[in-house]
Amino acid sequence: MSKVVKVISLLLLLFQLSNHAICQVKNDLIINAWLEVGGLRFAPTKKEASAGINVSLKFQRNRLLANLQYHNYVDRELAHGSFELFTTNNYYRAGNMMVGITNKKCRFGHFSISTGLGVFWGEFNNFFEEKFITAGWPIEAAAGFNIFPVVGINLKVFVNINSKHSLIGFGMDLQLGKLRDFRLNKPIVIEPHLY
């Protein structure tokens, strides 16, 4: 668990440095909203391989970030040889409501830390099927980079602490939505010349 604390501390430091170095901070109201869709990997696994997908809806008001997300994980057992025809998989799902902080205004992207509460449910498939549902405590550190004002790439590290199968993982998402302020028609300003 100390590695997780070190990673989150490092990301907080990077967040503070980036917020002061490359971002344009102003006193006006900043409102952005976007959708993230992507894939993820996690550890530890009870089987042999991990994979997953996630969908997140994020809303930013100045430095406050609200995050609704759904994760769908598969803990797969791999087939070894021709005699192993049937494999069993474990399935995990998480629905999370999170709040966090982000840089207020930035042309290049967003750095954020979020946490909240969630529901973690799924099924273990060994010799028999065991379904479960429990509360989860999600934590996420993310860095998003704007390709265009409405398209970006997001890299993240996440943790889900729960009573059934706590996990840590990383993911990459495609971001679609209003990621920063932009104007389609910039006003023309004519400055008078004094002679």
Domains, the chain, in order of start with CATH, read 2-178 (2.40.160.20)
Q: What is the structure's pLDDT at 19?
A: 52
Ranges of residues in the chain whose predicted pLDDT is under 70: 1, 3-27, 78-87, 106, 181-195
Q: Report the half-sphere exposure of 41 (CA within 13 A, side-chain side).
A: 3
pLDDT at residue 152, rounded to an integer: 93
- For residue 76, what pLDDT is reported? 79
Q: How far apart are CA 21 and CA 158, in angstroms?
A: 25
pTM for this entry: 0.74
The predicted structure's pLDDT at residue 188: 55
In this predicted structure, what is the pLDDT of residue 191?
A: 62
User: How far, in Å, CA of 67 to CA of 97, rounded?
Assistant: 6
Contact 144, 109 (CB under 8 A): yes
What does the pLDDT read at residue 85?
54
pLDDT of res. 129: 86
Instruction: Indicate the SS3 state at residue 59.
Output: strand
pLDDT at position 10 is 61
| pLDDT computed for residue 110 by the predictor | 86
Q: 133, 121 in Cβ contact below 8 A?
A: yes
- Given a contact cutoff of 8 angstroms between Cβ atoms, the answer to whether 136 and 94 are in contact is yes
